[in-house]
Amino acid sequence: MVNASAFPLSFFPTRTMPSTSENDDVRALVRGYAETPGQLIRRAHQAHMQLWTEVVPLDITGTQYSILSVLSVHGELDQATVGRLTSLDKSSIAELATRMVQRGLIQRNKDERDGRRRVLRITDEGARTVAEAAPFVHRVGQRLLAALDEREAVQFMDYLGRVGNPANRD
């Protein structure tokens, strides 16, 4: 449960709309926004990003790390599969792959069997980077979950996995 006292009603403006019954209903909904799942997930993401910046001493983003991790584990993969495994859309994976190729972290080539597909492969530099970053990334996760006991952390991770799984949405 969210600590409601962390966001007192005075945190939100009280008179931005004329007072009518309809506006009062809207105002009541807006006041509760700080406790909505999306807002809480956004704040947790901000906490993760801040920890990443503090803890990971390499010039790599979390998304780049996830791409390197997938390629490190699975080897050469087509760009669409990397996007699916990292939950990135086509344009995001294409843009990230371009930047990572420029930095020498991955190679991108046309698929020999299907010239429309792009195949990604981790380079030696990418493998070194993911290996060097791994203990710091682990530390970010530990610090992010530090407020939870072990049982709560396991349950929280299960909940995040279920919420983040597209198969669980109507």
Our CA dihedral for 27, 32, 37, 41, rounded to 10 degrees, sits at 100
For the stretch 31-60, pLDDT in tens is: 777 788 888 899 999 999 999 999 999 999
Whether 99 is in a domain gets the answer: yes
pLDDT digits (tens, 9 = 90+) for 140-162: 999 999 999 999 999 999 999 99
Q: Is residue 147 part of a domain?
A: yes
25 domain residue, yes or no: no
Q: Is residue 26 part of a domain?
A: no
Residue pLDDT, tens place only, 102-132: 999 999 998 788 778 899 999 999 999 999 9
In a domain, 8, yes or no: no
Question: Has residue 22 been placed in a domain?
Answer: no
Domain that holds residue 139: 34-165
CATH of the domain at 68: 1.10.10.10
pLDDT of 1 strictly over 50: no
Examine residue 9 and state whether it is found in any structural domain, yes or no: no
How far is Cα 52 from Cα 64, in angstroms, rounded to an integer?
12
Residue 155 included in any domain: yes
* Segment holding 7, helix H or strand E: none
**Count of structural domains within the chain:** 1
